[in-house]
Structure 1
Amino acid sequence: MSRTHSPNTSPSPSPRSRSRLTAAVAVAAAATLTIAGCSSGSGGKKADQTAAGVSAGKADTPRMTIAMITHAPSGDTFWDTIRKGAEAAAAKDNVKLIYSNDETAGDQANLVQNAIDQKVDGIAVTLAKPDALKDVVAKAEKAGIPVVGLNAGLGVWQEQNLLSFFGQDESVSGQALGTKIDQTGAKHVLCVIQAQGDVNLEERCAGVKKTFGGTTDVLYVNGTDMPSVKSTITAKLKTDSSIDQVVTLGAPIALTTVQSVSESGSKAKIATFDLNKDLVSAIEKGTIEFAVDQQPYLQGYLAVDSLWLYKNNGNYSGGGEAPVLTGPAFVDKSNVDAVAAFAAKGTR
């Protein structure tokens, strides 16, 4: 893997192939993550920022422009949280942040091209459908624009020559959830995917199926149409009363599923990936058992901050060789109080 970018300081690391953890090690690592885990490494980052030019908690480095382009559908609170993190880092780092999103892969690629045309100083991008973004990402890199990945694209970030990646291993998180559900005694899981073909979502359900000892079915719904989501899940639960566990892959889908379970007369429990304020309240009330938290605020924050550090201090987050994992961690009744205040602010 070659790197073509030219920061102000040190040269790029020498190429070498990406190392892969075994499944056993990866799952074990996931199990050790805690809610407070993201704060443990702040000392090193603070030292980097001081060296790069931070005065009184805010950068005094020259103004730079960073574009963040995601595959987010409009109105999804998960992506609002990612954006909040990015905006917080931009405010600290004297960065002009240009945020844009489109769930259609071709249109997302066009947004990346727009950022190239604007000659931004860095790009942060999600790779939910990596093949559709491959060519335009290569164009950015050829133009000398450093690119980092976040949230989606763990399996391809190095082959597409990105500097760093921030997110969770979706297969590992799915396996961790499958194991946790297996321990509850559930026998039949319905895994609901709200965007067919999204590699992150497909990997989550595949991970659940890999470690869950019972039956796992996948149900596709249109995540941009909540009335349709509710009616589709309700119909499925009415048709198959053996389903005793529903797994959703986003907080809005989970909250809609609570209504579906009620209307269908099902006794299925609900677990989900990702949080928002209402989802945290649902865990407190017991209508949702638990959630897998990948800390989206942290993903947005680190993606922007890493590009600033790269430009001003030549730093590679993860050394340019390993992803920076922000999850998974479980939130349930035992620890939900620890995140409730942050969720109320929209940062968890």
Structure 2
Amino acid sequence: MKRFKWLTLLLAFALFAAACGGSDSDTTEAADDTPAASDDAAADDAAVEEEEDVALSQGSDLTFHMITHSDDGPFWSVVKKGAEAAAADVGVELVWMPGNNDPGQMVIDIETAISDGSDGIASSLPSPDQLVGPLQEAVAAGINVYTLNSGVNDYNEIGATTHVGQTEFIAGQGAGNRFNAAGATHVLCGRQEQSNVGLDERCAGLEDAFSGTVTNEFVGLDADQTEQINGIKAILEADESIDGFLGTGPVIAVNGLTAANDLGRELVIGGFDVTPDIIDAIESGAIAFTVDQQQYLQGYLPVVLMFLQATNQNTAGGGLPILTGPGFITPDNAAAVKALVAEGTR
């Protein structure tokens, strides 16, 4: 039961909520130090433990579907690990359905989850125009729906319970402020997907906060890193005024560093999200920062929230999104995060 108690504490911290149980306080105040009372207390504690075991096992017949645009790369592997850990903690079956950056496949996966009678769907929303409708159908079918990672602007329209992630525009603004502080004047915002609203918002936030010039370009998919590096190099070669690069993911940020090194260019480089490679580059000082949206929580929390809604009619967020970021990893804290990255939880 230690795992279950730890889970409860994590939720309380993540949701920035606190609750006081009057009945627990009353029980504590009524405790007696006599041997007989101690025996009774021990028996009561055992009964509570047994009740908790029963409550936890009630979710064992539930099946939740997590449908994302995951390419099973380093970022999404952490999301998946968080989701699997939560499923094990609360005793449910998790069906992980990666769309590999294909909204069409995600639509198929949502329809499959509905037809399978899913007990809860957690879905990213990279292309709202294609995915809002199918998720609304899931809600109409009586399925609890949560959005994660991308979807902060659309979860209310879907009828989802809440969104778990970060506000990408605000995260981009934070990156813009850091480029200002570093003295950059012209930043290339390189995107690894052509039609992902979350990545567009990151670049838009950068442009809003940055006092210099922003060039916003799709430079190639993470799946073809050679093409991506060449795409970045072509833009850098065409414009000598670019002195900063923001990659809207961790792989593209490191590839931006490679492109700059290949050309002998010194750039202020920032990224989004966490992988071992980007942490190593930050620790060495080659990359200035990365925006940390704590993707482990984006996998973990939706499963726990779906479980609590299904078994105890609990909802969280109060109609507002549950934010997991943005935070920033810099050379000052990279070493502390590095060990957790090696364990696959950051």
Cα shift at 1:37 = 12
Choose which of 205, 208, 216 in structure 1 pairs with 2:206. Answer: 208
Residue matched to 2:146: 148
Structure 2 gaps of 5+ residues are 1-9, 22-47
Residue matched to 2:197: 199
- Aligned-partner Cα distance in 2 for 1:231–1:148: 38
Residue matched to 1:22: none
Residue matched to 2:306: 307
Residue matched to 1:83: 80
Q: C-alpha deviations, 1:97-141, integer Å up to 9, x for none? A: 000111111211110101111111110001111121122112211
Paired residue secondary structure (1:59): helix
Structure 1 gaps of 5+ residues are 1-35
1:1-348 correspondence runs (5 A): 39=13, 44=18, 54-55=52-53, 59-63=56-60, 64-73=62-71, 75-102=72-99, 103-223=101-221, 224-319=223-318, 321-348=319-346
Q: Which has the higher helix share?
A: 2
Change (3 A) 1:329 1:167: same
- Aligned-partner Cα distance in 2 for 1:265–1:272: 20
Residue matched to 1:26: none
Contact 2:133/2:158 (8 A) holds in 1: no
Cα shift at 1:44 = 5.0
- Aligned-partner Cα distance in 1 for 2:12–2:286: 28
Look up the equivalent residue of 1:186 and give its one-letter code.
A
Q: How high is the sequence identity, in percent, across the aligned residues?
A: 37
Paired residue secondary structure (2:270): strand
- Aligned-partner Cα distance in 2 for 1:209–1:252: 21
Change (3 A) 1:296 1:253: same
Change (3 A) 1:95 1:240: same
Paired residue secondary structure (1:166): strand
- Aligned-partner Cα distance in 2 for 1:304–1:124: 8
Contact 2:182/2:268 (8 A) holds in 1: no
Number of aligned positions between the proteins: 307
Paired residue secondary structure (2:155): coil
Look up the equivalent residue of 1:248 and give its one-letter code.
G
Q: For CA contacts below 8 A with separation 6 or more, give which structure has more relative contact order.
A: 1
User: Which deviates further from its counterpart, 260-269 or 146-155?
Assistant: 260-269
The TM-score, its normalising length taken from structure 1, stands at: 0.83
Look up the equivalent residue of 2:332 and give its one-letter code.
S
Contact 1:277/1:346 (8 A) holds in 2: no
Paired residue secondary structure (1:128): coil
Cα shift at 1:148 = 0.5
- Aligned-partner Cα distance in 1 for 2:307–2:246: 37
Q: How well do the aligned residues superpose, as a CA RMSD in angstroms?
A: 2.3
Cα shift at 1:184 = 1.1
- Aligned-partner Cα distance in 2 for 1:155–1:127: 10
Contact 1:76/1:252 (8 A) holds in 2: no
Contact 2:274/2:290 (8 A) holds in 1: yes
The TM-score, its normalising length taken from structure 2, stands at: 0.84
Change (3 A) 1:88 1:43: farther
What stretches of structure 1 move > 6 A for 4+ residues in a row? none
Q: C-alpha deviations, 1:128-159, integer Å up to 9, x for none? A: 11121122112211211111010001001011
Paired residue secondary structure (1:155): coil
Look up the equivalent residue of 2:226 and give its one-letter code.
P
- Aligned-partner Cα distance in 2 for 1:37–1:183: 35
Contact 2:15/2:317 (8 A) holds in 1: no
User: Which deviates further from its counterpart, 254-263 or 205-214?
Assistant: 254-263
